[in-house]
Amino acid sequence: MIDNEDYNLRLAKYIWTILTSQPIILMSWGVDPKTVKTIELGLEFHVQGFKHTGLVKVTLNEAEDLFVVELIDENGKTVDTTHSVFCDNLVAVIDSLVERTDNYEKSICEAYGIATKPELCESDTGQPTQ
C-alpha cells in the first residue's frame, strides 16, 4: 500500500507535468517556483497573473477522478473554485482564471502602456503613416 505522503508527491508531480506541458502559458501566470509545494491530494503555487494574484490550489477529487482548481487571495480567502476539470483542460481553466481576458492582447497593452500595432502605424492625426 502507498502511504499518503508518497501518493500526494506523485500526484503533485503529475499535476506539475500537465502544467509544464504548456510552458509559455505557465510563465504568463508569474508562477514563483519557490512556492510550488505538495499538498493533500494535489499541488499549490503562488501566481502574479493579470487577473489573479495569490495562490492556486489544484487537487484531485478522487470520487470523480477530476481536478478542482481553487484561487486564494493574498489574505487566504478562497475567491473562486472550479470543479470537475479534466486533465487535458487544466491549463486552459487555470489560464482563464489567472491570466486570460476576452480581449487579452488589448488588455495587456492598456495595462502596461504598450502601443498596439495600429497605433504604431498612425500619425498623431490618426491617419496611417507612409
Q: Residues 43, 27: one domain?
A: yes
**Domain check: are 10 and 21 in the same one?**
yes
Q: Based on the fold, state whether residues 9 and 60 are members of the same structural domain.
A: yes
**Overall number of domains in the chain:** 2
| pLDDT tens digits, 11-61 | 999 999 999 999 999 999 999 999 999 999 999 999 999 899 999 999 999
Q: Are residues 70 and 90 in the same domain?
A: yes
C-alpha 52, offset from chain centre: 8
- One domain, residues 108 and 89: no
Same domain, 53 and 73: yes
- Note whether 29 and 89 are same-domain residues: yes
Range of the domain at 122: 102-130
At 71, list the grid cell: 484561487
Same domain, 91 and 121: no
What local confidence, expressed as pLDDT, does residue 116 receive?
A: 67
Identify whether residues 109 and 92 lie together within a single domain: no
The answer on pLDDT for 79 being more than 90 is yes
110 and 123: one domain?
yes
Does residue 21 sit in the same domain as residue 78? yes
Beta strands at 53-61 and 78-85: parallel, antiparallel or unpaired? unpaired
Q: What is the pLDDT of residues 109-130, one digit of tens each?
A: 877 788 766 655 454 555 554 5
Tell me: do 40 and 83 sit in the same domain. yes
Question: What pLDDT is recorded for position 1?
Answer: 44
CA distance 100 to 25: 10
What is the pLDDT at residue 126? 52
The residue among 97, 27, 18 whose CA lies nearest residue 56 is: 97
- Mean pLDDT for 55-73 is 97
User: In Å, what is the CA distance from 58 to each residue of 7, 103, 106, 117?
Assistant: 15, 26, 29, 37
Statement: the pTM of the whole predicted model exceeds 0.85: no
Which residues lie closer than 8 Å to 128 by C-beta, 6 or more apart? Answer: 121, 122
Contact 26, 19 (CB under 8 A): yes
Query: Are the C-beta atoms of residues 26 and 48 closer than 8 Å to each other?
Result: no
Looking at every residue in the chain, the average pLDDT score rounds to 88
